[in-house]
Amino acid sequence: MPKNLIKRITPSREVIRHNKYLQIFGQRLHDPNLWHINRRSSAGAVAVGLFMAFVPIPFQMVLAAGASILFRVNMPLSVALVWVTNPITIPPMFFFAYLVGTWVLGVPTAAQDFQFSLEWLRNGGLNGIWPTFLLGCFICGAVSSLVGYFTIRGVWRLLAVRKWQGRRHGKGG
């Protein structure tokens, strides 16, 4: 069942409560709805986590925690899913987001001029691509959020139906 997998991969309540960056949420961290694992809260947490993974700023985990409080979905799962973007996956994911933005806006890519270095950043390398990059991040975040939400809902329902049918036919479950 997805519930066991989710429990295994998410940080514990104590780890999140004692995270110094999440202390800004105070007593809101004690809401029991943030810690329940069910179809609704897990699917919502996947949606929040995947969307926040495409937000191109530091401290995405704090944003994911805030959104999970706002939407009352499973906080550990939403915070953990932010790590879809990590030092290895950020370059291809954000470059893809930039390409999506150029495609939607119909502007040519500046990929041939791209040299990610401190000098490139100091010389304003991001100045010309910010609008397309941010639009691409928003679109990729929204699409991945929706796909994740409906995938979790569907898989959870499918497994629940199979378990129910197994019980109905006397196979246990």
- Round to whole Å and give the CA distance between 28 and 26: 5
Q: Are 49 and 147 in contact, with CB atoms under 8 Å apart?
A: no
The domain spans of the chain are 2-168
> What does the pLDDT profile of the chain (173 residues) look like in tens digits?
566 766 776 667 777 777 777 777 777 777 777 888 888 999 999 999 999 999 988 889 999 999 999 999 999 899 999 999 988 998 899 889 999 999 999 988 876 555 656 666 566 666 778 889 899 999 999 999 999 999 999 999 998 888 888 777 776 55
What is the reported pTM?
0.77
